Amino acid sequence: MPAFERHVFVCHNVRPADAPRPSCTSDGKSDLHTRLKKLADEAGLGMRVRINKSGCLDQCEHGPTVVVYPDAVWYGNVKPEDAEEIVREHLVGGRPVERLRIAEECLNTKICQHRRQD
């Protein structure tokens, strides 16, 4: 079996309601993950692209968060209805969906306009 061309990780992290940072899912389920997986299979990507659930990707203020490797493209505030565009444009067409990308300066930093500065 050949190696996967891409791995897609969809955050499924759940935090308590009073946590200082938000959750990507409220109940550990994800219509987004299910939809991405279904659409990727329908596009014939099943043996080329792996769609995984993940724990916290540490981009909570941008959740729901999705990251595509090896491209290192981070998507934020992704809704299930965005899945079709991600599959069509990025996973099939090789073009990241710019409107969903998390700004480079916001990744893995404590200083970002979206993060609480407690």
Count CA within 13 A, CB hemisphere, residue 101: 14
pLDDT score of 108: 79
pLDDT score of 115: 60
pLDDT average, residue stretch 9-29: 81
Q: For 22-60, how does the pLDDT look when each residue is reduced to its tens digit (9 = 90+)?
A: 777 776 667 899 999 999 999 999 889 999 999 888 888
pLDDT score of 50: 96
- pTM score, two decimals? 0.88
Q: For 70-118, how does the pLDDT look when each residue is reduced to its tens digit (9 = 90+)?
A: 999 999 999 999 999 999 999 999 999 999 999 888 887 776 766 654 4
Tell whether omega for the bond before 22 is within 30 degrees of 0, i.e. cis: no
Domains of the chain in start order, with CATH, are 6-106 (3.40.30.10)
